[in-house]
Amino acid sequence: MQWDQKTYRLSQPGSFGRWALYVGLLGLLLCVVGYLLDAPRFFHAYLTAFVFFVSIGLGALFFTMLHHLVGAKWSVVVRRIAENLMMALPLMGAFFLPLLFGMHILFEWTHADVVAADPILQNKAAYLNTIFFIIRTIIYFTVWSLLARSLYRTSLQQDAGNTPEIVAKLKRVSGFGVVLFAFTVSGAAFDWLMSLDPHWYSTIFAVNYFGSSFVAALAVVILMLIALQRGGALRGIVTVEHYHDLGKLMFAFIIFWGYTAFSQYLLIWYGNIPEETVWYLNRWQGSWKTVTLIIVYGHFVIPFLVMLFRAAKRNLLPLGAIAIWMLAVHWINMYWLVYPSFLKDGATFSWMDPVAVMAIGGVFFWYVWSTLAARPLVPVADPKLRASITHVNTF
């Protein structure tokens, strides 16, 4: 990897993108084998990987809009990483297509005989039906893709020469974008995950999914910055101060995720309504109890205790380790949301689980790396760029 300090571009992007594509293609081939051998297991593994990588793109989209809305200075030098991650959302729309062939396996409400015998599902049929489900998914990806494309293209226009109109447009798009983001992310979480157990519902479920998505996106941004700097890029541009701020933001949303997860559990436990408590009871049976405890301690307790210290946010070794840790636990969390509707007796892992991650993740990061290498790594004409480079934390 070689970096041109004058243009802020990778003159030689290295082999990461090529190897990511190889891994993705191998994963896709193995996914076909998995589908032929055990279709139900494959579709659950694929859905888990799908919502995992979609969450990274969504978290990056929110990071970009948040940056423009508040007019942040410190995040200018890391903004382009998030922008390239969010630009993978249209690609994830293509990865949704295989799930259409597994809807009858994944979603109980797609069975006409089951709905006919269930008054609750009959009452929800106006929303939970195949055609409306597909239409909503098209709307979700259309909104996300348009927002990402508009923000990215305007950001690239800024590289050619900043004007007040460009800054105003970025803020304006982000303003109405966060409103659309809230509705579409909520709908996607309800449709793809919560409807796996169609009798169960929680109004805070989507907020919790958003919180873990943002943490995952921040973890990927941190790891990509570390990888780029180890390859020689962005040295002297991204400093320990920027890692510190990313660490603080990740720490805040680890707490936010813990708050929303506990709020959901507490209200359901206190209400003690059978159709609500059964969702947690299913995740407290057999080996699911172990997975639940892994999420409690792995997604909140351990990272909270580590990130509580200032030194952990300013040292790349613990910060990078926590970023990897949070991504691993985030996948386990997605597994915990998807699989109990399929594996009633307890959690078991299959070779299809990592294969699905390879398939989607390999192509995902190949695409992100390719777009990243084709443009400057920072918004070169942003008026706050110099202030961002010289940024120093005061606490």
| Distances, alpha carbon 122 to alpha carbons 112, 282, 299, in Å | 10, 23, 36
Phi, then psi, of 216 in degrees rounded to 5? -65, -40
The dihedral sign for the CA sequence 45, 51, 52, 53: positive
CA dist., res. 268 & res. 93, Å (int): 33
pTM given for the model = 0.96
* Domain positions in the chain: 11-377
> How is residue 347 written in tokens?
């959690």
What is the chain's length? 395
Structure confidence at residue 2 (pLDDT): 78
Count of other CB atoms within 10 angstroms of residue 213: 27
CA dist., res. 325 & res. 317, Å (int): 12
Place of tokens 């990130």: 307
CA atoms within 13 A on the CB side of 3: 17
Instruction: Give the H or E element holding residue 71.
Output: none
Instruction: Give the H or E element holding residue 13.
Output: none
Structural contact between residues 2 and 10, judged by C-beta atoms closer than 8 angstroms: yes
> How confident is the model over 255-268, as pLDDT tens digits?
999 999 999 999 99
> How confident is the model over 195-253, as pLDDT tens digits?
999 999 899 999 999 999 999 999 999 999 999 999 888 988 999 999 999 999 999 99
CA dist., res. 256 & res. 262, Å (int): 10
Structure confidence at residue 250 (pLDDT): 97
Structure confidence at residue 349 (pLDDT): 93
SS3 2: strand
* DSSP category for residue 297: I
| Distances, alpha carbon 237 to alpha carbons 223, 234, 391, in Å | 16, 5, 10
CA dist., res. 333 & res. 48, Å (int): 9
CA dist., res. 64 & res. 86, Å (int): 8
Cβ burial of 63 (10 Å; 0-12, 13-18, 19+) is buried
Structural contact between residues 364 and 50, judged by C-beta atoms closer than 8 angstroms: no
What are the beta bridge partners of residue 238? Answer: 235
> How is residue 305 written in tokens?
């205790």
Structure confidence at residue 179 (pLDDT): 97
Q: Which residues of the chain have pLDDT under 50?
A: none
Structure confidence at residue 7 (pLDDT): 82
As separate numbers, helices (DSSP H) first and strands (DSSP E) second, the chain gives 18, 2
Instruction: Give the H or E element holding residue 136.
Output: helix 130-159
Structure confidence at residue 13 (pLDDT): 82
> How is residue 101 written in tokens?
């062939």
* AA letter at 172: R
CA dist., res. 113 & res. 219, Å (int): 44
Cβ burial of 314 (10 Å; 0-12, 13-18, 19+) is middle
> How is residue 366 written in tokens?
């190949």
- 46: CB partners within 8 A, 6+ apart: 31, 98, 99, 102, 352, 356, 359, 360
* AA letter at 244: H
What are the beta bridge partners of residue 9? Answer: 4
First to last CA, the chain: 34
Query: What's the angle, vertex CA 217, arms to CA 211 and CA 222, rounded to 5?
Result: 130
Structural contact between residues 161 and 114, judged by C-beta atoms closer than 8 angstroms: no
> How is residue 71 written in tokens?
């007019």
Structure confidence at residue 327 (pLDDT): 98
